[in-house]
């Protein structure tokens, strides 16, 4: 592993404005710099770089951190390789044995090989649909018949797979790729699973298919979706590349790389079911459109959309399958705090056929005439036949409540509860009770999942990477529970307070950091969230070792630098909403940091007490002797007393 001295040396000699300035044109803005963010499609400079703090932060897409995070994100390197990258640039020697460069290079080399393979295949397939006999006679005419023109084929790089079972295998090898690389790229698969990756045991993944390359947001080919056009076959109509080292289905959206500008410009996106819908709408001028590959729509995909817009209109088939799929998608989108509308197409139509037949003006009119929010959708679907059927009505109300429960914003929840109450003519309090039931259940479930993940992480530690190598660029995204409820909110707030004030005085004897960690130890309330607990633990270890903990530590520590960048970034040239929030936050924080510390610690205590009470209750359920029951009852009463004391102190009641 790389020693902290080397890392510190790099921090000392590599000014952030110089590291970032290598890739981004920076202009001075007061004490800081600003420039166009390279991590999203930036039109006006949203990225701020602070030389004094050594951090960058994009106020539009949220990317931020220290010099290493910048290089990791920009160059697609792992943490150790980013260190090596900067060490070489600034002539700082990394001692032999400190880094297993070969191993890291190996990983990077495999990925490079896979990307190269996929790029080759994309060009080859594209070439085939345009120039091969099959392409010209069968496949291109098929696309033409479906209304897809040459410009669209070019724009989306639509291609034709092999028509023999080892076509891309042979072509790939002829062009210098190994069978292993073709296999890693998902272009070929094994015939016999028990046998090795040798040419004789491999065949093409895509056979006789029109292929749609799936691009990353930044335009790299990750895989393909293939559509069969022959009718006399048992093969599935659509087939996707398998998951590979570069392709994770749950994180990608088809069409985003082509349509992202338009999505941002329109501040809205259409979400459709298939590749053909994307391609066809795009060609008709509706070019803010994406499709989720696969049937499930994931939280990762919702977050990806959120980088470009908060407004999604789903365009789905009006049949039962389409309705059910749209209901599932809605909940994921609502939980990500995205505004969702749904448009269902008549049974014999889909967005593709609709726009081909009637054009974009009629399409937009249909969308605005028939789009529904989830309350209206559920009502329309469940109560279509008999609007006053009490059983159907109860079912509709329950389904609506389940969706309302997913909304993170309490104001939106309240608004939808009122709407539902009016629409279904059911008293608000009954809907509120139902919503609460779903929220409590989902919280319980998330708690269980989190504990399970923590448990898994613990058991994996012994085989994990050495300290300093554990950086996960998306640690913030690794906890989907946050999207549903804010149960890590207090830990996050406490961490932010700690980053801002660690070395300030808390009382005569203790700094803020010392006070917080004392409380953790004495009250046994160490943070338990997946997301922040390790940051707290590392900071405590640092404090014990070096007797000092300040913001510099959090900026330079790989795990905390992103959140440090978030709280420490200057607030010039920001969007209005963010500016207001930040101002409020900073102002109240400077004045009240001591009471913030106390409040947040109290919340943590409550959380731990609630856990203890829950455990105790479980024991009560199975206790048999009177004596046991009495003891457990006493414990319960004591916990309750402590709980009441804390809530009295902070003047808050938490349900």
Would you tell me which residues interact with Zn ion (CB under 5 A)?
A: 37, 39-40, 58, 60-61
Q: 203 or 260, CB closer to Zn ion? A: 260
CB of 34 to Zn ion, least distance (A): 12
* Alpha carbon separation from 167 to 99, 238, 312 (Å, rounded): 41, 19, 40
CB of 564 to Zn ion, least distance (A): 17
Q: 40 or 607, CB closer to Zn ion? A: 40
Whether 23 contacts 38, CB under 8 Å: yes
For residues 306 and 259, give the distance between their C-alpha atoms in angstroms, rounded to a whole number: 14
> Residue 218 in 3-state DSSP?
coil
First-to-last CA distance in the chain?
Answer: 46
For residues 243 and 513, give the distance between their C-alpha atoms in angstroms, rounded to a whole number: 44
CB of 561 to Zn ion, least distance (A): 16
Torsion angle of C-alpha atoms 471, 473, 476, 477, degrees rounded to 10: -130
For residues 291 and 293, give the distance between their C-alpha atoms in angstroms, rounded to a whole number: 6
CB of 36 to Zn ion, least distance (A): 9
For residues 195 and 180, give the distance between their C-alpha atoms in angstroms, rounded to a whole number: 13
Q: Which two three-digit tokens encode residue 508? A: 């005569």
Pairing verdict, β 269-272 and 238-240: unpaired
CB of 264 to Zn ion, least distance (A): 12
Whether 543 contacts 512, CB under 8 Å: no
HEC sequence for 364-397 = HHHHHHHCECHHHHHHHHHCCCCCCCHHHHHHHH
Q: Is 34 left (phi over 0), alpha (psi -120 to 50) or beta?
A: beta
Q: 2 or 37, CB closer to Zn ion? A: 37
Q: Which two three-digit tokens encode residue 453? A: 């993940």
CB of 119 to Zn ion, least distance (A): 26
CB of 46 to Zn ion, least distance (A): 6
Q: 39 or 270, CB closer to Zn ion? A: 39
CA 42 remoteness from chain centre:
20
CB of 496 to Zn ion, least distance (A): 21
CB of 39 to Zn ion, least distance (A): 4
For residues 231 and 613, give the distance between their C-alpha atoms in angstroms, rounded to a whole number: 62
R_g over Cα of the chain: 28
CB of 300 to Zn ion, least distance (A): 18
CB of 531 to Zn ion, least distance (A): 21
For residues 75 and 650, give the distance between their C-alpha atoms in angstroms, rounded to a whole number: 47
Q: 40 or 559, CB closer to Zn ion? A: 40
| Interacting residues of 537 by C-beta distance below 8 A, sequence separation 6+ | 526
CB of 75 to Zn ion, least distance (A): 16
CB of 566 to Zn ion, least distance (A): 13
Q: 61 or 432, CB closer to Zn ion? A: 61
For residues 565 and 571, give the distance between their C-alpha atoms in angstroms, rounded to a whole number: 12
Whether 441 contacts 485, CB under 8 Å: no
The DSSP output letter for 162 is B
Q: 40 or 203, CB closer to Zn ion? A: 40
For residues 502 and 490, give the distance between their C-alpha atoms in angstroms, rounded to a whole number: 17
State the CB neighbour count (10 A cutoff) for residue 81: 20
Q: 48 or 60, CB closer to Zn ion? A: 60
- Helices 390-406 & 374-382, crossing angle to 10 degrees? 160
CB of 69 to Zn ion, least distance (A): 13
Please count the helices (runs of H) and the strands (runs of E) in the chain. 27, 16
Q: 70 or 115, CB closer to Zn ion? A: 70
Q: CB under 8 Å, gap of 24 or more: what pairs does 587-593 form?
A: 589/497, 589/500, 589/501, 593/497, 593/500, 593/501, 593/504, 593/512
Residue 215: strand pairing partners = 221
């Amino acid at each position: 592993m790389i020693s902290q001295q080397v890392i510190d040396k790099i921090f000392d000699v590599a000014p952030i404005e110089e590291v970032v300035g290598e890739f981004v044109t920076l202009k001075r803005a007061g004490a800081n710099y600003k420039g166009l963010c390279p991590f999203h499609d930036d039109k006006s400079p949203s990225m701020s770089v602070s030389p004094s703090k050594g951090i960058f932060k994009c106020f539009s897409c949220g990317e931020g951190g220290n010099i290493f995070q910048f290089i990791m994100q920009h160059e697609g390197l792992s943490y150790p390789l980013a260190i090596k990258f900067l060490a070489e640039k600034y002539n700082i020697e990394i001692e032999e044995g400190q880094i297993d460069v070969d191993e890291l290079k190996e990983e990077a080399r495999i990925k490079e090989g896979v990307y190269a393979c996929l790029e080759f295949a994309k060009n080859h397939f594209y070439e085939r649909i345009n120039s091969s006999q099959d392409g010209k006679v069968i496949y291109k005419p098929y696309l033409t018949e479906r209304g897809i023109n040459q410009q669209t084929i070019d724009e989306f790089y639509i291609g034709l797979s092999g028509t023999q079972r080892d076509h891309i295998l042979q072509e790939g090898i002829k062009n210098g790729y190994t069978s292993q690389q073709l296999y890693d790229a998902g272009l070929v698969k094994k015939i016999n699973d028990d046998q090795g990756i040798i040419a004789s045991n491999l065949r093409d993944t895509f056979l006789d298919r029109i292929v749609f390359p799936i691009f990353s947001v930044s335009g790299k080919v990750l895989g393909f979706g293939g559509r069969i056009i022959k009718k006399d076959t048992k093969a599935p109509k659509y087939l996707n590349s398998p998951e590979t080292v570069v392709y994770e289905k749950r994180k990608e959206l088809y069409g985003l790389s082509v349509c992202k500008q338009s999505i941002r410009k329109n501040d809205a996106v259409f979400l459709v079911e298939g590749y053909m819908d994307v391609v066809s709408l795009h060609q008709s001028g509706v070019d803010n459109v994406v499709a989720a590959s696969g049937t499930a729509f994931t939280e990762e995909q919702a977050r990806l959309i959120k980088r470009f817009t908060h407004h999604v209109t789903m365009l789905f088939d009006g049949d039962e399958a389409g309705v059910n799929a749209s209901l599932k998608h809605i909940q994921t989108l609502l939980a990500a705090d995205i505004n969702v509308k749904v448009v269902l197409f008549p049974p014999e139509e889909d967005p593709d056929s609709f726009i081909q037949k009637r054009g974009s003006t009629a399409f937009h009119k249909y969308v605005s005439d028939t789009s529904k929010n989830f309350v209206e959708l559920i009502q329309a679907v469940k109560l279509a036949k008999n609007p006053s059927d009490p059983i159907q009505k109860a079912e509709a109300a329950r389904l609506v409540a389940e969706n309302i429960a997913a909304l993170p914003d309490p104001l939106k929840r309240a608004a939808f509860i009122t709407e539902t109450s009016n629409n279904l003519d059911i008293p608000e309090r009954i809907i509120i009770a139902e919503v609460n039931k779903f929220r409590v259940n989902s919280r319980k479930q998330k708690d269980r999942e989190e504990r399970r993940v923590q448990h898994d992480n613990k058991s994996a530690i012994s085989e994990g990477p050495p300290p300093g190598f554990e950086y996960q660029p998306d640690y913030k995204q690794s906890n989907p529970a946050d999207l549903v409820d804010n149960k890590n909110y207090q830990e996050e707030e406490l961490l932010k307070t700690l980053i801002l004030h660690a070395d300030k005085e808390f009382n005569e004897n203790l700094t803020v950091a010392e006070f917080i960690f004392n409380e953790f130890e004495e009250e046994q309330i160490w943070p338990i969230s997946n997301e922040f607990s390790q940051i707290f633990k590392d900071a405590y270890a640092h404090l014990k070792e070096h007797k000092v903990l300040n913001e510099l530590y959090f900026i330079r520590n790989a795990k905390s630098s992103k959140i440090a960048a978030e709280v420490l970034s200057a607030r010039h040239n920001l969007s209005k909403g963010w500016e207001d929030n930040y101002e409020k936050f900073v102002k109240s924080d400077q004045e009240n940091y001591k009471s913030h510390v106390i409040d947040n610690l109290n919340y943590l205590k409550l959380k731990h007490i609630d856990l203890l009470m829950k455990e105790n209750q479980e024991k009560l359920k199975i206790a048999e002797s009177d004596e046991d029951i009495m003891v457990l009852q006493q414990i319960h009463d004591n916990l309750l007393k402590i709980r009441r004391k804390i809530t009295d102190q902070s003047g808050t009641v938490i349900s």
